[in-house]
Amino acid sequence: MTEHVPRRTAEPRRLRRTVVLALTGALAAAGLAVSAGAAQAADSLGSAATAKGRYFGTAVASGHLGETDYAATLDREFNAVTPENEMKWDATESSRGNFTFGAADQIVSHAKAKGMKVRGHTLVWYSQLPGWVGGLGASDLQNAMDNHITQVMQHYKGQIYAWDVVNEAFQDGGSGARRSSPFQDKLGDGYIEHAFRTAHSVDPAAKLCYNDYNTDGVNAKSNAVYAMVKDFKQRGVPIDCVGFQSHFNSQSPVPGDYQANLQRFADLGVDVQITELDIEGSGSAQATNYGNVVKACLAVSRCTGMTVWGVTDKYSWRSSGTPLLFDGNYGKKPAYDAVLAALGGSSSGGGTDPGDGGGSTKSCTATYTETQRWGDRFNGQVTIRAGSSALSGWKVPVTVHSPQKVSTTWSGNPSWDAGGNVMTMASTGGLAAGATTSFGFTVMANGTWTAPAVGACTAS
Ligand code: G2I
């Protein structure tokens, strides 16, 4: 409150100064670092990921394996698979005690023949659950759940890299509560722990994951999952990994704190994996988003791999959003080139992503907080954290919502779009590996108090 008067009087002068700084800063930031490319860059997603110590997988539907172009693209580009539907409860045990593995076996034997990893998806999930499961009483349901986990995991014992033991057990929104399901409603919170303990007793070599969506940034839902994983690790419940589905579109964009969120889970002592990646859109916007997701994974040492949720747009569960790396004719999209470049590979024809410096893993995250509010305006702060490599610079777009206006900035070089709503803040210097820095700004609310949208951090 005491800051009210001095800050207001200082604003007009500061604004003019920051505009001048913005122009010089933008010119300085234009020289992007270009590092020497590797002697022989990998020319497929799988081989490029392997060179970075990761896998690059895709969801596969058994019904398409007979299509020549589908199988050829799968075999050329990917080194891990997740059966899209074939290992789910309705596919493997549609009637109690009768297990059917034909379709899933087809995928697993294809993967084994090609040396691909298999992610098992999924053992305990509220959806694609046959009706008989919901009709059971509590103790019977417990037996059925244990038996399902045991039979399915036994069948594939030794062949599965990681299992999604429990999928989507938390509600969306701000409650952080568990989602209602036969398991939750009849067995209570303890069913998740019980499922992991049962899974561990069946195949101790498989990595056991919890998998969910809308947990990709720091939010109430991911906080609830984080608390559960932390508790499991403290009490010795056998959990090895957390899967971040990463289904993105304009309503649910790649969060600015995506990498920071992966990192905080990794810091609990679990692996993290991007398990169902797809990003609606096209062209360079889609490509940039894909590149940023891959860079985030590479910057987190315990991010062991990425899986896209399908090979081609034409078979995507949301094909109208064209969210994948190959178009309906199996042509490589700009998103493909961006992913390959982010992985440090390059297409035979020469995939290009001038932002990526030939295999560099430079990366950063941006996290927004409102630090102060007055009757007419508020201050925002964005904290930048460098990934595992030192940065010579970074930039972050911040969009305010008209009629809001940014009146003051500090600790960065801002530049604005023509409309004055999108400010791109560039660094004033380098940042050591793992280090943080922050910039700030004042937003005149003009009646609108929506928080600014902070985009992904770009490292150079
Ligand atoms: O919804 C996207 C994914 C969210 N996370 C868990 C994933 O398991 C889930 O995958 C999707 C599949 O991609 C769809 O292919 O899960 C859907 C079901 O919840 C799958 O859709 C189902 C259709 O609903 C069924 O009508 C159809 O018979 O696919 C089945 C097999 O084609």
Name the least confident of 111-115, 298-302, 396-400: 396-400
Ligand 1 pocket mutation pick from 84, 88, 248, 280 by most atoms within 8 angstroms of CB: 84
Structure tokens at 306: 């990425």
Ligand 1 pocket mutation pick from 92, 214, 273, 317 by most atoms within 8 angstroms of CB: 317
Q: How many CA atoms lie within 13 A of 421 on its CB side?
A: 11
pTM of the predicted model as reported, rounded to 2 decimal places: 0.72
Residue 84 CA to ligand 1 centre (angstroms): 7
Question: How much is the average pLDDT of 257-277?
Answer: 98
pLDDT tens-place string over residues 190-248: 999 999 999 999 999 999 999 999 999 999 999 999 999 999 999 999 999 999 999 99
Angle at 45 between CA 306 and CA 54, to 5 degrees: 45
- CB-CB contact of 339 with 45 (8 Å): yes
Does residue 93 carry a catalytic annotation? no
Does residue 276 carry a catalytic annotation? yes
Mean predicted lDDT score pLDDT of the chain: 89
Q: How many CA atoms lie within 13 A of 312 on its CB side?
A: 17
What three-state secondary structure class fits 94?
coil
Residue 251 CA to ligand 1 centre (angstroms): 20
Question: How much is the average pLDDT of 85-101?
Answer: 98
Catalytic residue among 84, 86, 93, 168: 168
Q: List residues near ligand 1 (CB under 6 A).
A: 84-85, 127-128, 213, 245, 276, 317
440 torsion bin: left (phi>0), alpha (psi -120 to 50), beta (else): beta
**pLDDT of 266 higher than 60:** yes
Ligand 1 pocket mutation pick from 58, 81, 82, 85 by most atoms within 8 angstroms of CB: 85
| pLDDT value for 103 | 98
User: φ and ψ at 235, to 5 degrees?
Assistant: -100, 5
| pLDDT value for 40 | 61
| pLDDT value for 348 | 59
Q: State the closest ligand 1 atom to the C-alpha of 316, by its place in the atom list counted from 1.
A: 13
**pLDDT of 1 higher than 60:** no
- Residue ID of nearest Cα to ligand 1 atom 2: 317
| pLDDT value for 371 | 85
Residue 91 CA to ligand 1 centre (angstroms): 12
pLDDT band at 343 (very low <50, low <70, confident <90, very high): very high
Q: Say what percent of the chain tops pLDDT 90.
A: 76
pLDDT band at 47 (very low <50, low <70, confident <90, very high): very high
pLDDT band at 65 (very low <50, low <70, confident <90, very high): very high
- Residue ID of nearest Cα to ligand 1 atom 15: 317
- CB-CB contact of 186 with 144 (8 Å): no
Residue 78 CA to ligand 1 centre (angstroms): 21
